[in-house]
Structures are given as structure tokens and as C-alpha cells.
Amino acid sequence: MLRDLGPGSTLPSLAFTVDGPSMKILSLIMRDPNPMHYDPAAVQALGLGDRPINQGTINMAYPINALLRIVDSPAQLKRFACRFQGSLVAGDRVVVSGLVTAVDEETVSLDIWLDREDGGRVLTGSAVLARG
């Protein structure tokens, strides 16, 4: 798949729903005791709505997983940088998309982003993949 991408090519979109129970499990795995990631009452007490808020590291993992779907080996992901622009909450429907910005003999460079289906951009970033 990576070999077929040229400047202006789009990354195959990856759409899914943010899963509340998984957020709680990942909070435990990451040793993140902040109840806003799994307890709706804690989120309400903070005045941030009524659904648990996803961890930023998980938001960052979504576009990385989209990139890993187009390479033969995870070692081909040479660089990933991102900027958080919003939050996701349990039940949000999201889409990862990207655009190839440059290709040379050794690498493919992309802009990548994560959007809520309702229109809010949650993350923007860039990546460099080795052509393999």
C-alpha cells in the first residue's frame, strides 16, 4: 500500500467509536488514576459534561494505528509528531485521515488528523514513514 502513495494521495480513513469500557481498562494499564477517564460522576463534578474523557495518549494512538495499517513493519514509522486540539469522550464517533505531502526514494511524509464525525478536529500531526 505504501508504495502506491504519491504526493496528494490520501490515507485510507479509519473510523470508529471511542469505547468507554476500554478507556477504563487503559487507565489501569497506564496507571492513570484520574477518574475523569472512567467515572461520569467525576467528569460532572469537574463541569466537563457527563461522559468520561479519553486519555491524550490514546487519542495519539489512533492515527499511529492508521499509519501502521499501511506499512509492512512498525519499524517503518520513523517520526510522528502531533498537537492536541480537543478532547474525545466515550461514545464519540471519530475518523482518522491523512494526506501525503512528500515522497522521496526512502520516505513518505504525511499530514494526519483525527476528527469527530460531528466536525470537531481533535488532533493534527505529521509522520515520516520509511518506504521499506
pLDDT-derived band at 104 (thresholds 50, 70, 90) equals: very high
Residue-level pLDDT at 5 = 84
Q: Does residue 88 form part of some domain? A: yes
Inter-residue contact 57 to 50 (CB < 8 Å): no
Q: Does residue 76 form part of some domain? A: yes
Q: Kindly state the average pLDDT of the residues 113-124.
A: 95
CATH number at residue 86: 3.10.129.10
Structural domain range at position 62: 2-19+54-130
| Most confident range, picked from 17-26, 31-40, 122-131 | 122-131
The model carries a pTM of 0.90
Q: Kindly state the average pLDDT of the residues 88-107.
A: 96
Q: Does residue 68 form part of some domain? A: yes
Please give the tally of structural domains in the chain: 1
Average pLDDT score over the chain: 93
Q: Does residue 94 form part of some domain? A: yes
Q: Does residue 24 form part of some domain? A: no
Q: Does residue 27 form part of some domain? A: no
